[in-house]
Amino acid sequence: MSSTTEEIKSRLDIVEVVAEYVKLTQAGSNWKGLCPFHNEKTPSFLVSQERQYWHCFGCGEGGDIFTFIMKIEGLEFYESLKLLAKKAGIEIKQQNIQTINLKNKLLDINELSKKFFHYILQNSHSAENARKYLEKRGIKKETIEKFELGCAPNFWDKSLNFLKSKGYKIEDIFLAGIVVKKDNRYYDRFRDRLIFPINNLHGQTVGFSARALNKEDNAKYINSPQTEIYNKSEILYGLDKAKNSARKKNEIILVEGQMDMVSSHQAGVDNVVATSGTALTKQQIKILKRYSDNLLLVFDEDQAGYNAFRKGSQIAVFSEAFKTGANLKAIYLPDGQDPDDCIRKNPKEWKDAIKKAMPYLEKYIKQALDKFDMDSVEGKKSILNFMKILAIVPSKIEQDYYIKKLSQILGIDEECLREDLENIKEKRANTVVKNEQVVAVKKDGSLKLAEQIIALLLKYPDSASCFKSNLDKEIFISSDLIKIYEKFFDFYKNKKIMGNSEDFIDSFKESNEQLFYFCEEFLLLAEKDFSDFDKKEAKEYIVEHLKKLQKFYIIKQKKILENKIRKAEEQDSEIVDELLQEAFLLDKKLLELE
């Protein structure tokens, strides 16, 4: 397996893989961006192209290409191996179907189901209604192929029997969401429906959305249930197809339905994703933010979906969007049209509407003014109640702009508006429960300084010449840093370090994997904090800050001694004398460092 992992690493560039999830910008020889694993406004997430390693100096996470995929996708190692192998064009021999872990079984079942539905749509007489429906909606053959649209036949067990014939157990087919169970009997979940395969970021099919073809069906859409591979709060329909375009255009458009998204891509606007009829979530906002700061929302003027964003659950979503610095805009479609209607009528109107998108809060104010009578006291109160969303806007400049605007429109004193918003903020602060909190790694000054010195030493190994032979290794505080320091100088004395520390770092791969990763992190730390240093400046920094580190250590030792002396004074005068002698030596060392 190790040869496979090394081959994958040799074929894939970690920067390209990480850039699928994180917006990266070059910083010297490395790349940086906002960490996808905790909220931050200043980038502390670095990726080393040279070392093929990543690390966040905010939350402390780090690793190689596999650890990144495992963490961001929530995968086990074998799953990440399979995913990256596919990306690298490497074939992993399929294990016996009984031994593949559950998530991989479910992915395989969904992939096979997608092909089955796609084949039915193209070839079966039973799919005639589905083909006519797509033709009526103006969906072309190449679009059907691009999104691998399908059709579930109007039978109770067609999909089930097909998957069983391929060797899959009925229990696993059920766990994949393809069948449902009632009265100890299994039958197909999707019947006589147009099928939209739902993919994850890498194009793997994790679920399905199925539109009714028969008007008598109670539910217009039926979706796959939550499964081991399908997390509805994180998946966005079409993101695997839209992400590159969104990054290139620096803009991503969110629509409500699959057909809206499919039609838009067919019309040439391919930076569009859909929520698949579910409410937008905080997780989805974070995912979208990886590809662009500019998020355009489309909601019909007179429909309930637009008003849903005033509900408490959606206020939290908007709060997340504003907090992460997303630039929210609203696309206006007149006459209750949805994007699919607009595109079929005139694709140019859809493109023009996108160009005319207005800031979301402008749209929000417009809707409030259209909805209520601003000349009456009750109407003004309703408008202000509608505009509570302003309380979650973190930008004081933006908030001030809209407060002044509302004040002028409604003829209400600015201070009254500000007071109302402050009251709302206070209530929210008392009621909001933080479900998730990432705490940055806290380090005292001496430990941070020790790490910086080791980082510079690894980046500029020749700087070791400025270390004195009698330097007390204990100044490095952490047992891990002491081990790295000791082994480094063992290499240095035996002339095993020739111009760079790569062989030294690699020596930990087999003996101590944790120290290997620490060294990788320290190299990134050096690039982050000292990218503009040359060898001379590195030496000067080390000399100056070694003194500081020694002083920190001596002062700490003195405090420990002082406590010992206080206790010893009550018991044994001889011990006190010995301790005082130690304190005198520490004072002498401090003087030598001045």
pLDDT of residue 303: 45
Backbone angles phi, psi at 22, to 5 degrees: -125, 135
DSSP-derived secondary structure letter, 58: T
* pLDDT higher than threshold 80 for residue 564: no
* pLDDT higher than threshold 60 for residue 440: no
Q: Are 87 and 65 in contact (CB under 8 A)?
A: no
Burial 401-432 (b: 16+ CB within 10 A, else e): ebbeebbeebebeeeebeebbeebeeebeeee
Q: Any idea which residue has 């019947």 for tokens? A: 191
The angle formed by the CA atoms of residues 515, 519 and 521, to the nearest 5 degrees, is 115
Query: Rounded CA gap, 107 and 344, in Å?
Result: 34
What predicted TM-score, i.e. pTM, was given to this entire model? 0.62
pLDDT tens figures, 523-539: 777 877 777 778 888 88
Q: How far is CA 433 from the centre of its chain?
A: 22
pLDDT band at 563 (very low <50, low <70, confident <90, very high): confident
Q: How far apart are the first and last CA of the chain?
A: 56
Cβ neighbourhood burial of 388 (10 Å; 0-12, 13-18, 19+): middle
Q: Are 198 and 276 in contact (CB under 8 A)?
A: yes
Query: Rounded CA gap, 366 and 296, in Å?
Result: 17
pLDDT of residue 499: 63
Q: Any idea which residue has 């032979």 for tokens? A: 469
Q: Are 568 and 487 in contact (CB under 8 A)?
A: no
Mean pLDDT, the chain, whole residue set: 82
DSSP-derived secondary structure letter, 303: S
Q: Please name the residues in contact with 568: beta carbons below 8 A apart, sequence gap of 6 or more.
A: 575, 576, 579
Alpha-carbon separation of residue 335 from 267, 302, 332, 348 (angstroms): 21, 8, 10, 16
pLDDT tens figures, 462-516: 888 888 777 888 888 888 888 888 888 888 877 766 567 777 887 887 777 778 7
Q: Any idea which residue has 């994790």 for tokens? A: 206
* pLDDT higher than threshold 80 for residue 579: no
- Count CA atoms within 13 Å of residue 580 on its CB side: 9
pLDDT tens figures, 240-270: 999 889 988 989 999 988 999 999 999 999 9
Q: Any idea which residue has 């800031």 for tokens? A: 359
Average pLDDT score over residue span 527-555: 82
Backbone angles phi, psi at 515, to 5 degrees: -70, -30
Percent of the chain having pLDDT more than 90? 28
pLDDT of residue 282: 77
Average pLDDT score over residue span 377-382: 83
pLDDT of residue 311: 43
Q: In what order do the strands lie in the sheet with 327-331?
A: 272-274, 252-255, 294-298, 327-331, 358-359
Residue of 296, 284, 295, 188 whose CA lies nearest to 236: 284
The angle formed by the CA atoms of residues 553, 558 and 562, to the nearest 5 degrees, is 155
Reduced to 3 states, what is the DSSP secondary structure of residue 562?
A: helix
Instruction: Provide the token pair at 201.
Output: 């970021």
pLDDT tens figures, 115-170: 999 999 999 999 999 999 999 999 999 999 999 999 999 999 999 999 999 999 99
* pLDDT higher than threshold 80 for residue 517: no
pLDDT of residue 272: 96
- For residue 210, list its beta bridge partners: 195, 222
pLDDT of residue 472: 82
pLDDT of residue 171: 92
Q: Are 458 and 523 in contact (CB under 8 A)?
A: yes
Residue of 202, 263, 266, 210 whose CA lies nearest to 235: 202
The least confident of 27-31, 96-100, 380-384, 542-546 is 96-100
Query: Rounded CA gap, 4 and 443, in Å?
Result: 38
Reduced to 3 states, what is the DSSP secondary structure of residue 401?
A: helix
Return the higher-pLDDT residue of 109 and 379: 109
Query: Rounded CA gap, 203 and 223, in Å?
Result: 18
Q: Are 109 and 163 in contact (CB under 8 A)?
A: yes
Alpha-carbon separation of residue 247 from 70, 189, 255, 262, 494 (angstroms): 23, 36, 18, 19, 49
Return the higher-pLDDT residue of 528 and 107: 107
pLDDT band at 338 (very low <50, low <70, confident <90, very high): confident
The angle formed by the CA atoms of residues 290, 294 and 298, to the nearest 5 degrees, is 110
Give me the amino acid identity at 72. Answer: I
pLDDT tens figures, 210-232: 999 987 777 888 999 888 889 88
| Other beta carbons less than 10 A from residue 560's beta carbon | 10
